[in-house]
Amino acid sequence: MSNNQLYSGDSSTTDFDQNLLCHVLVIGGGPAGTWAAWSAASAGSKVILVDKGYCGTSGCAAASGNGVWYVPPEPEAREAAMASREAMGGFLSSRDWMQRVLDQTYANVNLLAEWGYPFPVDEEGKSYRRSLQGPEYMRLMRKQIKRAGVKILDHSPALQLLVDAEGAVTGATGVNRQTSQKWVVRSHAVIIATGGCAFLSKALGCNVLTGDGYLMAAEAGAEMSGMEFSNAYGIAPAFSSVTKTLFYNWATFTYADGTPIPGAGSQKGRSVIAKTLLTQPVYAILDKATDEMRVHMRLAQPNFFLPFDRAGIDPFTQHFPVTLRLEGTVRGTGGIRITDYTCASSVPGLYAAGDAATRELICGGFTGGGSHNAAWAISSGYWAGHSAAVYARKLGKQTNQRQVEAVGEAGFTSGSQRQINSEEIIKATQAEVFPYDRNYFSPHHPISPPPKPHD
Around 384, how many Cα atoms within 13 Å sit in the side-chain half-sphere? 39
Nearer to ligand FAD, 137 or 261 (CB): 137
Q: Using the rule CB under 6 A, which residue among 105, 170, 276, 371 binds ligand FAD? A: 371
Q: Report if residue 333 touches ligand FAD, rule: CB under 6 A.
A: no
Residues 89-148 touching ligand FAD, rule: CB under 6 A, are: none
Nearer to ligand FAD, 244 or 445 (CB): 244
Q: How far is the CB of 374 from ligand FAD (least distance, A)?
A: 3
Nearer to ligand FAD, 150 or 261 (CB): 150
Residue 446 carries which side chain, given as an amino acid letter? P
For residue 352, list its beta bridge partners: 192
Residue 341 carries which side chain, given as an amino acid letter? Y
Q: Using the rule CB under 6 A, which residue among 5, 39, 66, 133 binds ligand FAD? A: 66
Nearer to ligand FAD, 24 or 209 (CB): 209
DSSP notation for 194-260: ---B-TT---TT-TT-BSHHHHHHHHTT--EE-GGG--EEEEEETT------GGGGG-EEE-TTSPB
Q: Using the rule CB under 6 A, which residue among 184, 191, 203, 407 binds ligand FAD? A: 203
The b/e string for 361-379 (b: 16+ C-beta within 10 A; e otherwise) is bbbbbbbbbbbbbbbbbbb
Q: Report if residue 206 touches ligand FAD, rule: CB under 6 A.
A: yes
Q: How far is the CB of 185 from ligand FAD (least distance, A)?
A: 11
Distance separating alpha carbons of residues 145 and 381, to the nearest angstrom = 13
Mark the segment that binds ligand FAD (CB under 6 A) among 30-38, 39-47, 178-186, 278-286: 30-38
Alpha helices in 226-370 (DSSP H): 269-277, 291-300, 302-311, 328-331, 360-363
Cα dihedral 340, 341, 346, 348 sign: negative
Q: Report if residue 193 touches ligand FAD, rule: CB under 6 A.
A: yes
Q: How many residues bind ligand FAD (CB under 6 A)?
A: 46
Q: Report if residue 326 touches ligand FAD, rule: CB under 6 A.
A: no
202, 36 Cβ separation under 8 angstroms = no
Number of H helices, E strands in the chain: 12, 17
- What region does 221 belong to: left with phi over 0, alpha with psi -120 to 50, or beta? left
Nearer to ligand FAD, 152 or 168 (CB): 152
Q: How far is the CB of 352 from ligand FAD (least distance, A)?
A: 9
Q: How far is the CB of 68 from ligand FAD (least distance, A)?
A: 6
| 3-state secondary structure (DSSP) of residue 106 | helix
Q: Using the rule CB under 6 A, which residue among 37, 43, 50, 384 binds ligand FAD? A: 50
Q: Which residues bind ligand FAD (CB under 6 A)?
A: 27-33, 50-53, 58-61, 64, 66-67, 157-158, 193-195, 203-206, 208-209, 212, 243-244, 327, 330, 354-356, 369-374, 377, 454-455
